[in-house]
Amino acid sequence: MTARRPRVLQLTGDWKWTGTAEPMLRLALAQRERGFDVELACPEPPAGAGRSLAGEAGAVGLGPALVLSRGQGARWLRDAADVERVRAALEARSVDVVHCWHTRDHVLALRAARARRRAGRTAVVRSVASAEPIARRPWSRWLFGPGADAVLCCSPDAARRNAALRGGRPIAGLLGAVDLERFRPAPSDPSVRRALGLAPEHRVVGIVARVQRHRRFDLLLEAAARLLTARPEARLLVVGRGTWRAALAERPAARLGIGDRVVFAGYRGFDYPDVLRAIDVFTYLVPGSDGSCRALREAAACGIPAVTTRRGALPEIVAHGETGLLADETPEALAAAWATLIGDEARRRALGAAARRRAAACYQPARFADAVAELYAQALAGS
């Protein structure tokens, strides 16, 4: 007899379509495909908001089964009504696993599932988006120790770094899933390149990142200035938005004299895979709020080789010399690595093909869902 899949409530207190929202929905969809009884709980977006988790989930038939209030941080009195909503949902649906993604969700789940957890009927699982070690403060030591029946880290190395905090309790590290059909190798669309101001002879180094101070756009542009001086056919493509884009990227590019060779494509929606495939060499310097570096893994699935630093999970995603190159965090090292691939089409193609093979083997949604199911089983066994 086949064991019953656990009933799962994916729980988040964040309404935005950012950070962990897409990985959360990708996991829920993969779980549904694998026969899980999975539902989503999240807040509705405020009036006039743009893309939201609730909206994206509804578009694929996984709209919120439970609507939470909007709020940041865990607040004992403010969150009482949400705690009761979650508690009632757990009882009514006989939920086996509550999978949380932020601290507020985690606290809500612990309060709501207290009785069911004590009886071994519901496990609380927490995802950790950052690849950096969890802080060893007393609150974190409790929340990520006995306060979670299992912890899912964004990479295998992150799980190893956090294992001691768990004290032998279940922990796993997985890089997540990619839609391997949407993100697949295909010829670059000439019309997309033209719309971006890219000519056929241009060789494009591209980055997908929100323009923020900690993402090291200073380093990116200084390295680009060196590359663009040495390789006139090169261009830098920046995909992503950010309140500080003018101050952190556009004006510095102009001061470096490369403003006419840096393309700011902004945020992309339906055409994002086509824009991604306009890139010859993908680059990534500092992971953002999604420590599994989703954009880098999507580029790999498209067969695009990468040049990255060694921050966070990047060395786990890029196999140096096999699917891309790892470089030191200096303008000279980055520019040299980019130039190496820009000038060698055969090597670019070989590394890109290897990146696709690795992505197809490692980032399958079904494989990801099954690995998470194993973690759930461990959590339930020990809850």
**Same domain membership, residue 262 and residue 146:** no
- Quick check: is 2 in a domain? no
Residues 70 and 198 in one domain: no
| Pair (52, 152) in one structural domain | yes
241 compared with 238, residue with greater pLDDT: 238
User: Residue 125 sits in which domain range?
Assistant: 7-177+364-382
Confirm whether 185 is domain-assigned.
no
Beta strand ranges found along the chain (DSSP E): 7-11, 37-43, 66-68, 97-100, 123-128, 150-153, 171-173, 203-208, 234-239, 262-266, 281-284, 306-308, 324-326
Domain membership flag for residue 184: no
CATH number at residue 328: 3.40.50.2000
pLDDT tens profile 16-51:
987 789 889 999 999 999 999 999 999 999 988 888
Q: Is 383's pLDDT higher than 80?
A: no
When pLDDT is cut at 50, 70 and 90, the band that residue 1 belongs to is: very low
Q: What pLDDT is stored for residue 46 in this prediction?
A: 92
Residues 349 and 310 in one domain: yes
Same domain for 270 and 328?
A: yes
Record the tokens describing residue 168, joined without a space.
């032998």
Does the pLDDT at position 2 exceed 60?
Answer: no
Tell me, what amino acid is at 365? Answer: P
Q: What is the pLDDT of residues 91-114, one digit of tens each?
A: 999 999 999 999 999 999 999 999
In a domain? residue 253: yes
Q: What is the average pLDDT across 311-335?
A: 96
Task: Give dist(CA 383, CA 381) in Å, integer.
Answer: 6
- In this model, does residue 163 exceed pLDDT 70? yes
Instruction: Please give the tally of structural domains in the chain.
Output: 2
Residues 262 and 337 in one domain: yes
pTM listed for this prediction: 0.91
Does 90 lie in the same domain as 113? yes
- Dist CA 268 CA 254 (whole Å): 23
Q: What are the pLDDT digits (tens) for 118-158?
A: 888 999 999 999 988 998 899 999 999 999 999 999 999 99
Q: Is residue 124 included in any domain, yes or no?
A: yes
The full DSSP string for 188-257 is --HHHHHHTT--TT-EEEEEE----GGG-HHHHHHHHHHHHHH-TTEEEEEE---TTHIIIIIHHHHHTT
Residues 60 and 168 in one domain: yes
Check whether residue 286 and residue 276 sit in a common domain: yes
Quick one: 374 and 225 in the same domain? no
Q: How many CB atoms lie within 10 A of CB 250?
A: 18
User: 194 CB contacts (<8 Å, ≥6 apart)?
Assistant: none
